[in-house]
Structure 1
Amino acid sequence: MGTKGWHARGYLPHFDGWDVTQHVVFRLFDSVPPSEQEGDDVPDRHLGSSVLRDAACARIVANALLHHDRQRYTLQVWCIMPNHVHVLLATQKAVELGSIVRLWKAYSAAQINKLLGRKGRLWAKDYFDRYIRDQNQFDFAKRYIEMNPVAAGLCDSPEDWPFSSATR
């Protein structure tokens, strides 16, 4: 486990390894309309259902992220936006990144669907990941994640956003 290296699942290449820090982004299935091309700015426009704007839904995702912290991975920075999630984490040898993200998405989807009395798909199929090569890239990713709610106009400072490691 945890030693796949570079591999493809569908259209996005992924890197699975261990003792590696990764920036992961996953989004709600309806956050990018069919007429749009996926890009960094599209999720920040809060398109689609944006169910994570609901504090109870965002708490479910936060609990999923925090549940296995320091056991299966080490969370370094995270932020839950209205329709997507950013996580900077260090993976461990025994658990592949894909299984970590699948667990987060499966658990949170089941709980959010139950809470909202809905059925069906919540998350987009895939996720984006970028492994962090050096301290400069780590610092950039950390700042980007923490500043994402500010850049999206949701708050004035990272500490004001309740669903982020910046408030902890």
Structure 2
Amino acid sequence: MSRPDERAAWADEALDAGHGCRLLAKMANAEIVQKSLLHDDGEHYALAAWCVMPTHVHVLIEQRFETPLADIVQTWKSATAHVINKRENRKGRLWRREYFERFMRSEEQLSNTVTYIENNPVAARLCERPEDWRFSSASWRRMER
């Protein structure tokens, strides 16, 4: 049986290669997900980094106010699935039930994770620079300047 980190690495590789449903490749759907992530930022969590890819999403948050991570993720999944399914005239589950989580144990790990998330579109050859990817914290920071 594989360890959780091995499964997460395998999943990342498969998703970065473009395997899976590509509903988030549509700009309107990616925008729905990004708006959902930003909606409760500063209320139930603080967004540190995010990236909405064509087949998956990476999010790094600091939890606040004792809201369980499972509740936060469920809110994102439920809200976005409802809107995207309606928009796409489809039914059924949009997201997988599980998600991968990691606890940040140092500033170095936090920094490396932000870099990994924001470089995901570059690694997948979707853009040349992290800030060129519209649905990410790298792009968001560039727009705020």
Normalization by structure 1: what TM-score? 0.77
Name 2:20's counterpart in structure 1.
Answer: 48
Name 2:70's counterpart in structure 1.
Answer: 98
- How far apart in 2 are the matches of 1:126 and 1:135? 26
Amino acid at match of 1:87: V
Deviations 1:70-104 (A, max 9, x none): 00000011000001100110001330000000000
> What is the Cα deviation at residue 40 of structure 1?
2.6
> What is the Cα deviation at residue 142 of structure 1?
0.6
Residue of 116, 135, 139 corresponding to 1:163? 135
- Root-mean-square deviation (CA), in Å? 1.7
- Asked if 1:144 corresponds to 2:109, the answer is no
SS in 1 for 2:13: coil
- Asked if 1:133 corresponds to 2:105, the answer is yes
Total equivalences in the alignment: 135
Identity %: 45
> What is the Cα deviation at residue 47 of structure 1?
1.2
Answer 1 or 2: which has greater strand percent: 1
- Asked if 1:107 corresponds to 2:97, the answer is no
> What is the Cα deviation at residue 42 of structure 1?
1.0
> What is the Cα deviation at residue 43 of structure 1?
0.9
- Asked if 1:61 corresponds to 2:33, the answer is yes
Amino acid at match of 2:58: H
Higher relative contact order (CA closer than 8 Å, sequence separation 6+):
1
Amino acid at match of 1:164: S
> What is the Cα deviation at residue 167 of structure 1?
0.8
Answer 1 or 2: which has greater helix percent: 2
Deviations 1:105-127 (A, max 9, x none): 00000000000000001001110
Runs (4+) of structure 1 exceeding 4 A deviation are: none
What 5-or-longer segments of structure 1 have no aligned partner?
1-10, 13-24, 26-36
